[in-house]
Amino acid sequence: MMKRISHSLMTVAMIATAFSAASVQAQTVTTSAPVSSPTPNADARPNVIVWMLDDVGFGQLSSFGGLVQTPNIDRVAQQGIRFTNYRTPAICSASRAAMLTGRNPHSVHMGGHAAAALPYPGYDSKVPAEDGTIAANLKAAGYVTVALGKWDHLPSADMTPAGPFTRWPTGQGFDKFYGFLSADADNWHPALIDGTTPVKNLVTPDYHLNNDLADQAIQAFRARSARETAPPLFVYFATGTAHAPHHAPQAWIDRYKGKFDMGWDVARDIVLKKQIATGLMPKGTKLAPRPAGMPEWKSLSAGQKRLYARQMEVFAASLSHADEQFGRILDALAANGELDNTIIAITSDNGASAEGAYHGTYNEALFINGYYPSDEENSAYLDKWGGPETHPHYAFGWAVAGNTPLRYFKQTTHDGGTRVPLILAWPKGIAARGELRPQFAYVADIAPTILDLTKVPLAPMINNVPQAPMEGVSLTPSLASKDAANPARAQYFELYGNKALWSDGWVITTSHRLDPWRMDQSGPFNEPWELYHVHKNPGQTTDLALKYPDRVKALSAVFDQQAAHYNVNPISNIQDARPFAAKALQAEIGRRKGVWAYSGAIGNIGFGAAPPITFRPFVMQAELSLASSTESGPIFAFGGAGGGMSAYLANGIPAFALRDLSGKLTVVKAQAALPKGASTLTLTLERPTPKPMTPELMTVTLSAGDQVLVRQQVTATLPFSGYGAAETFDIGVDRGSAVSPDYAPDQGFSGTLGKVSFQIK
């Protein structure tokens, strides 16, 4: 130790002598020349907006021959290019992950929906760090990046305020996020996140989520005026529209009254004629055959026609309303003189959705739980369809019409599931105006195309991780000319056993799962390949597999090669995720000894990360500290007005609310309020033989300490797969819509919450 001290002192002395010998002159502000900064010039790089629509089919936008009026989308189309041969994966999570990363969905571990993950590389929903997003690349080049709206391609377990936030937008290259972590949102009472923090929604009578998202986008552009020279902006605008629930302001619904009384068969004919007349489809194109179970419109009763027409009126209203809000963004850019130098891409994540099954549904959470309401059940909600009291989806006949002239719909690998609109415009940088492009394009091509147009190179490192090459290709050659050569490539598609491959205008595909509303389908993947020359036969009306067996063999070999290369194997049924999920849940219950505990108020826990209180009996205990005997608000809530459960105080009186997916409300309430001070409230839900989606007799007990406040038998129906993707599990608040009318949406518990625990039985 003494030697070390002595050595240190010698070193200090030597340094001091050296500096003294050099006679260093200290510099001050008065003796130093300032470093000059270059005079700022206007940043000429383009802004970028990608509007990712949801569940919008090839034949629904008016610029693609559709009967839904979207004048602002048309406005962009007239300023740019419409791709008529653009394709995506057949489901949202896969499509969005592929678009944002510029890579194939299975390559980035998103081969299906994130909520149905499997423990295999192509399906575990964990986007690898080496597959950085377009946002991360643009951010590295100096762009400000903003994600608005839907973000559902991340593991369910990550959908909590505890994170990890690696796969949230702010961990994927976005400076700002304002939106929802789920497959869809209640547009009237959304459970929103700002960055990583839950947003308290001050819902007004005229609130709609699309207005809110448009406001956020406009504000992001407006904020650039705070600097004379601001960096360009990339906005990922991901509306929940037009995914269910189809929600629209009443004024917009009224505009479409009677517009679809002709029915889906006549609508298909009208749309196809418009598509042929405008060159979107070749002359001689035939409509895809009507799927099994889809009735002719003329065979329906008057009541059925009115119901189904109303369903489409609401869908159209929701899409037109979203278009109106997007128009506000365009107007704001135009007013600032920035519209001409903004790259705008508008597309859909997959084809129109048939998840409403045969009759549609007044509450989309029903189909997730394997229940399909009848016409009679739906008709009870006819006048409320599209309003806050419903979470609706249209009958699948309208999905077929929405994909005109293509075959089938979302979740299938026929073209109705994968071929959708793509519009790309940049008035300052792309000369084309209102032109069509027939070249093949794929969702993974959008990111490299934007990087190409903005002259941003692929970052070699993101977050200190070396990056893998993007698998998409730039579409810039086709932007210059409709005669540009198609790149020599083939593209696979796969979703829950449905398989396909596009190559040079030919498609092979299989018909494994054609009822996308069924979540329980299983079976071997031994269906024969079908072969269609979609360049000449877009409706896939003539199967040529028997006529050209050698072509089928060659294309199937390419599919097998790509499946092996891009993590497609092992191919699975959607049903296959359930045993893995059940096993994981059982292991989690064992690891926790059946206890889920929370230390005070916390909101926005995704339904996939909630305690399993809809599956099993449970006991909840909550430590309360009450400043008065009139405290109010939720202690916990799961779900909302379209189905849920909640324990709460109403002016100090303990209560438990159960609301089934029809909206029927059952309340068990004590007779007297809890006293001021500390209390331990216990809720016991006994279910002798739990039978989800079946009315069952349960016993509800509310106790304070050792005193039973109320014990009551109730008959109620609990869901199997939760109360819908739009709703959350919350402690001390009820995010989104409220389960009980005894408190307001987003109202917090007015007392003080300590530990709240759930013992799963």
Segment 435-444, tens digit of pLDDT: 999 999 999 9
Concatenated DSSP letters for 636-681? EEEEETTEEEEEEEETTEEEEEEE-TT--EEEEE-SSPPPSEEEEE
Q: What are the tens digits of pLDDT across the range 171-201?
A: 999 999 999 999 999 999 999 999 999 998 7
Q: What are the tens digits of pLDDT across the range 459-494?
A: 999 999 999 999 999 999 999 999 999 888 999 999
The yes-or-no verdict on residue 569 having pLDDT over 90 is yes
The yes-or-no verdict on residue 24 having pLDDT over 60 is no
Give residue 116's pLDDT. 95
Count of Cβ atoms closer than 10 Å to residue 18 Cβ: 10
CATH of the structural domain 47-493, one choice from 3.40.720.10, 3.40.50.150, 3.40.50.2000, 1.10.1040.10: 3.40.720.10
Question: Which pLDDT band holds residue 33 (cuts at 50, 70, 90)?
Answer: confident
The CA distance from 385 to 247, in Å, is 8
Tell me the CATH class for 593-760.
mainly beta
Matching residue, tokens 């109202």: 747
Domain segments of the chain: what residues?
Answer: 47-493, 593-760
Once rounded to an integer, what is the mean pLDDT over residues 392-401?
Answer: 98
Helices and strands of the chain, counted as H and E runs = 16, 30
262, amino acid identity: M
Q: What angle do CA 678, 680, 682 make, to 5 degrees?
A: 155
Question: Which pLDDT band holds residue 43 (cuts at 50, 70, 90)?
Answer: confident
Both structure tokens of 571 = 């191919």
Give me the residues paired with residue 194 across strands.
178, 197
The CA distance from 40 to 108, in Å, is 40
Q: Integer distance in angstroms from the first to the last C-alpha of the chain?
A: 63
The CA distance from 400 to 294, in Å, is 9
Q: What are the tens digits of pLDDT across the range 104-145?
A: 999 999 999 999 999 999 999 999 999 999 999 999 999 999
Concatenated DSSP letters for 425-485? E-TTT----SEEE-S-EEGGGHHHHHHHHHTPPPPSEETTEEPPPPSS---HHHHH-TTPP
Q: What angle do CA 149, 154, 160 make, to 5 degrees?
A: 80
214: nearest Cα among 322, 319, 61: 322
Read off the DSSP letter of residue 226.
G
Read off the DSSP letter of residue 370.
T
Once rounded to an integer, what is the mean pLDDT over residues 697-701?
Answer: 97
Helix or strand holding residue 268 (H, E): helix 263-277
Both structure tokens of 278 = 């405008």
pTM: 0.95
SS3 of 266, please? helix
Once rounded to an integer, what is the mean pLDDT over residues 597-626?
Answer: 95
Read off the DSSP letter of residue 193.
E
Give Rg (Cα) of the chain: 29
Read off the DSSP letter of residue 581.
H
The CA distance from 196 to 177, in Å, is 8
Mean pLDDT of the chain: 94
Q: What are the tens digits of pLDDT across the range 66-99?
A: 999 999 999 999 999 999 999 999 999 999 999 9
Q: Pairing between strand 665-669 and 677-686?
A: unpaired
Once rounded to an integer, what is the mean pLDDT over residues 625-643?
Answer: 97
The CA distance from 672 to 704, in Å, is 11
Question: Which pLDDT band holds residue 36 (cuts at 50, 70, 90)?
Answer: low
Question: Which pLDDT band holds residue 3 (cuts at 50, 70, 90)?
Answer: very low
Count of Cβ atoms closer than 10 Å to residue 760 Cβ: 19
The yes-or-no verdict on residue 159 having pLDDT over 90 is yes
The CA distance from 60 to 69, in Å, is 9
The CA distance from 640 to 724, in Å, is 9
